[in-house]
Amino acid sequence: MTTTLQRLLHRQEGRLGLAMAVLLIALAFTAPGFFTAVNLASVVRGMGVLTIVSMGMLMVILTGGIDVSVGSMVAVISVVAARWGNTGAPAALVAPGALLLGAGLGFFNAVLIADLRIPPIVATLGTMGLYRGLLLQWTQGEWVTRLPHWLAAAGRPGRFLMDGSVWAAILVTALTAWFLRRTQAGRSLFRFGGSPIAALRVGIAERRVVYLTYSLMGVLAALGALFYAAQLGSVQGNAALGYELTVIAAVVLGGANIMGGEGSVTGTLLGVVLLGSIQSALILLHVPTFWQGVVTGAIVLLGVAAGAVRRRRPINLRALSGKGSAA
Amino acid sequence: MSTTLSSQPAGTSTPPSPGRGRAGLAGIHWQPWIVAALLLIFCFYTGWRTGDFWTVINWQLLVQPLAEAGLVSLGMTLVIATGGIDLSVGSIIGLSAVIAAVAAQHGAGGVTVDLIAAGAGLVAGAGNGLLIGWLGLSPILVTLGTMILYAGLAVGISSGSSFAGFPAGALWWGDATWLGIPAPFLLFIAAVLAVAILLQRSLWGRYLLSFGSNPVAARFSGMPVKRSLFAVYAVQGAFCGLAAMLMIGRLASARGDMGQSLMLTSIAAVVLGGTPIVGGMASVAGTVAGVAAFYVVQNGLTLVGVPAFLESALVAVLLLVAVAAGNLLKREP
């Protein structure tokens, strides 16, 4: 019995699952409104976009990189899609176009990182300001309050009270899991993040990994952006400001190692669910809006501490050998 | 080793090892001068385009926000020298300002308000230092958490509203000048000298650079890694508190979300100055050039009539171009 528990607690996924269970039981007693179909459905709908974007961030973090331009990319694509759709262009043109634009923005990040050798955090910090600045110049602070009807429909609750973002999130999660587990390209992300030098020696092309990962991140940010616009019903230049930090928090809470090479789809999904249900729970528990940041911050810190306890020893050994081979 | 690097650059995960004697400055002395030269050209161009640029009042107004960002960037230079990063600086500024405002509401006078702002920053920074130095957690993750936590505290304490009833004494920093030079700028210059001396000449500075260059070796050499790291984040917090104090003086008000933009500006200024994000090396002169570049360029673009939204995009391009150019230059030898 104890060994089962120990094994469960050994992994970040296990701890998160337990934390979720405790939270849900506590909520059952303190916030009866939480377990109504309507509320649960709205909690789940609120996680759709975050899940989609977090899967992209998981892949980026697996390679040992980071992408802080995600919030800007979401804003750019949501505004472009809404404005383009409003000109009367068909969904069959706008939606793929938006995804392609996302891939392009992500690819630009990859070029900065792989070809100009700018560290990921600096490169994406730059494009974060660049994409956002260009968007604001283009919109001049104006809101797009009317969405093309196909886009608005994607954000409306339908079957099982779910909207398009939830179905898309399920699909993206399944595809990411398959990609990371079953394809050679997916496996190479882990190898590359674990040790870039070892990856190079076994013939994994660094440039290709970076191009692929950041372009995928862009595509998923674009997909998330479409549903982001659909759910909000209006978009503007300052949309999704600081969204990248929520996304990174979810992935990290899910046990991904920020230095690369470690992380899982299940963990990321649990991270998203934990962050999402806590936001909803805080509202139901009548925690004043102003204090909700304190709770979220404390949870992220706890998650970070829990993750570090688990990996203290293996990381020490790896850092030693990594430094040795690098020098 | 979770405290090593904030994020690994794709291919260049090995920082060039610093030279023994000169605190590893040999490899990076290029970039500050490139930035300074570009900045000088920009200044002449702007001065030629508009007569408002080379006026005393323009520079007096320009150096005040520059000093605030400069203080934070100096702290960030120390943090990045250790291979860490501090994402919580904006939140610490907001929290310090709000706490100072609460003190002013309860009748605290001028100097007390200043001390409380600086002290609150120090304590918040020490919180980061405890988690990163003593518990050995990853800087990027800890400060991501405290960024949300401190911003939450600031908004919670102030109920999201702004405070404007500071006593006149607390606003001293906004108007005081010496020989026409605004007091905040003098404070910044003093801080630059202090940080430069600490980094180059003190044992602590050596520890920081050694840890940033090779954390494992630093630990096995018996350096007081925990204490040194703790101190870095505490000092960074104190700098944020001082920046909050200057902001209160300049704006005569306090808000929980003020200073949020300084997180990115300070990281970008340090990187622009040639300090590598992976740690082990640091250039205080570079940081000064970097932060000056941001504010002078922004000011010049405004005077020339470039729309405000495009400015931030151009500044981002400046960062990317400077870092890419620095990388290409470094690869030659």
Listed residue (B127, B154, B153) closest to B139, CA to CA: B127
Residue predicted with more confidence, A310 or B319: B319
Interface test with A, best of B4, B12, B79, B141 (most A CBs within 10 A): B141
Tell me the pLDDT tens digit for each residue of A26-77: 887 887 777 888 888 888 888 999 999 999 999 999 998 999 999 999 999 9
Q: Are B295 and B66 in contact (CB under 8 A)?
A: yes
pTM metric for this prediction: 0.82
Instruction: Please give the pLDDT value at position B225.
Output: 83
Whether residue A132 lies within 8 A of chain B, CB to CB, comes out as: yes
Residue A200 makes CB contacts below 8 A (sequence gap 6+) with A206
Listed residue (A48, A19, A58, A50) closest to A246, CA to CA: A50
Q: How far is A183 from chain B (nearest CA, A)?
A: 21
Of A113, A121, A304, the CB nearest to B137: A304
Instruction: Please give the pLDDT value at position B29.
Output: 64
Inter-chain contact A249–B159, Cβ cutoff 8 Å? no
Residues in A touching B328 (Cβ below 8 Å): 116
Q: Are B81 and B274 in contact (CB under 8 A)?
A: no
Of A120, A125, A128, the CB nearest to B10: A120
Which stretches of chain B drop beneath a pLDDT of 70? 1-29, 330-333
Q: How far is A277 from chain B (nearest CA, A)?
A: 17
Instruction: Please give the pLDDT value at position A311.
Output: 55
Instruction: Please give the pLDDT value at position B263.
Output: 84
Instruction: Please give the pLDDT value at position B310.
Output: 82
Of A120, A288, A315, the CB nearest to B1: A315
Length, in residues, of chain B:
333
Query: Residue A326 above 80 pLDDT?
Result: no
Q: Is B246 exposed, middle or buried (0-12, 13-18, 19+ CB in 10 A)?
A: buried
Location of structure tokens 């620095």: B326
Interface test with B, best of A67, A130, A188, A246 (most B CBs within 10 A): A130
Q: How far is B178 from chain A (nearest CA, A)?
A: 36
Inter-chain contact A245–B215, Cβ cutoff 8 Å? no
Tell me the pLDDT tens digit for each residue of A170-223: 999 999 999 998 888 888 888 888 777 887 777 777 888 899 999 999 999 999
- Cα separation, A102 vs B201, whole angstroms: 48
**Which of A83-97, A149-163, A253-267, B217-231 is least confident?**
A149-163
- Cα separation, A56 vs B77, whole angstroms: 31
Q: Are A269 and A172 in contact (CB under 8 A)?
A: no
- Cα separation, B47 vs B61, whole angstroms: 16
Q: Are A74 and A221 in contact (CB under 8 A)?
A: yes
- Cα separation, B119 vs B121, whole angstroms: 5
Inter-chain contact B146–A117, Cβ cutoff 8 Å? no
Query: Residue A242 above 90 pLDDT?
Result: no
Interface test with A, best of B13, B146, B267 (most A CBs within 10 A): B13
Listed residue (A111, A110, A112, A101) closest to A134, CA to CA: A101
- Cα separation, A214 vs B52, whole angstroms: 44
- Spell out the alpha helix ranges (H) of chain A: 2-10, 12-30, 37-62, 70-86, 91-114, 120-139, 149-154, 164-182, 184-194, 196-201, 206-232, 243-253, 265-284, 292-326
Instruction: Please give the pLDDT value at position A2.
Output: 60
Residue predicted with more confidence, A318 or B236: B236
Residues in A touching B142 (Cβ below 8 Å): 301, 304
Tell me the pLDDT tens digit for each residue of A88-141: 888 888 999 999 999 999 999 999 999 888 889 889 988 998 999 899 888 887
Q: Please provide the average confidence, as pLDDT, over all residues in chain A.
A: 84
Length, in residues, of chain A:
327
Q: State the amino acid at position A7 in one-letter form.
A: R
Mean pLDDT of A264-291: 85
Q: Are B200 and B23 in contact (CB under 8 A)?
A: yes
In order of start, what are the domains of chain B with their CATH numbers? 56-325 (1.10.3470)
- Cα separation, B263 vs B5, whole angstroms: 18
- Cα separation, A112 vs A131, whole angstroms: 14
Instruction: Please give the pLDDT value at position B99.
Output: 93
Q: Are B162 and B254 in contact (CB under 8 A)?
A: yes
Inter-chain contact B7–A315, Cβ cutoff 8 Å? no
Whether residue A8 lies within 8 A of chain B, CB to CB, comes out as: no
